[in-house]
Structure 1
């Protein structure tokens, strides 16, 4: 499983993406609070974090990249030790990646000047080619 993106965790902790982001963050909290289970069937708990402390720390200071990295690491370690948690985290991660958090956000601004060509504004264009117009613009 890929590690959970530090940027995604920080964005969700800060309240990005509105209600969808809040629900994703709440879902991660519920997942982290599940009892820690070892994959070998023993009741012995490992000496690693469940992720709860890191989750709370990031929620307290979502702009701190060190806290986001600590949570990402705690989730990865727990997933490696707890197969049930790994399955839940994988499912959560696939859904959370669909939440628009502003990660990779693009801002487009045009001001001043005269423009004689079409302007495309957006993000992640594929298969677009730009050529010279076949006719001059009106008024030229």
Structure 2
């Protein structure tokens, strides 16, 4: 499966996206979660990754651990991989999941202004004109 598949699935599972969705999407993500939970019940480490990501979905490390657990389980079990892919197709038909990999990172010494934003309509001004 392609690399851009894993993180959105992990984010949707971790953030319990179903809680804020229309009925069709709720049932789709609930079914996807059931597939993942059934597979992970045989792997305590994978279940721990899912639980940790659900507990704090804003933690990129937890999302990465869940992403790795999903990828590892799918590599070991082609039937799980197909069920995951099919479940994700159903979920993604109903939602737009934030891309956890599309994050601003700022490192080093900052001497000027910085804006971290997704969509901006209009201008951005710093200080006085």
TM-score category (smaller protein): 0.5 to 0.7
How far has the Cα of 1:83 moved from its partner?
Answer: 1.8
Which residue, 52, 74, 78 being the options, matches 2:73?
Answer: 78
What is the aligned partner in structure 2 of residue 19 from structure 1? 21
How far has the Cα of 1:9 moved from its partner?
Answer: 2.6
Cα separation, partners in 2 of 1:49 and 1:96, compared to 1, 3 Å? farther
TM-score, normalised relative to structure 2? 0.58
In structure 2, stretches of 5+ residues that fail to align are 103-116, 124-129
- Does residue 34 in structure 1 map to residue 45 in structure 2? no
In structure 1, stretches of 5+ residues that fail to align are 37-44, 112-140
- Does residue 69 in structure 1 map to residue 64 in structure 2? yes
Instruction: Name the CA distance, whole Å, in 2 between partners of 1:8 and 1:32.
Output: 11
From the CA coordinates, give the structure whose radius of gyration is larger: 1
Determine helix, strand or coil for the equivalent of 2:72.
Answer: helix
Determine helix, strand or coil for the equivalent of 1:101.
Answer: coil
When the two structures are aligned, how many residues end up with a matched partner? 102
Question: Considering only aligned residues, what root-mean-square deviation do their CA atoms show, in Å?
Answer: 3.4
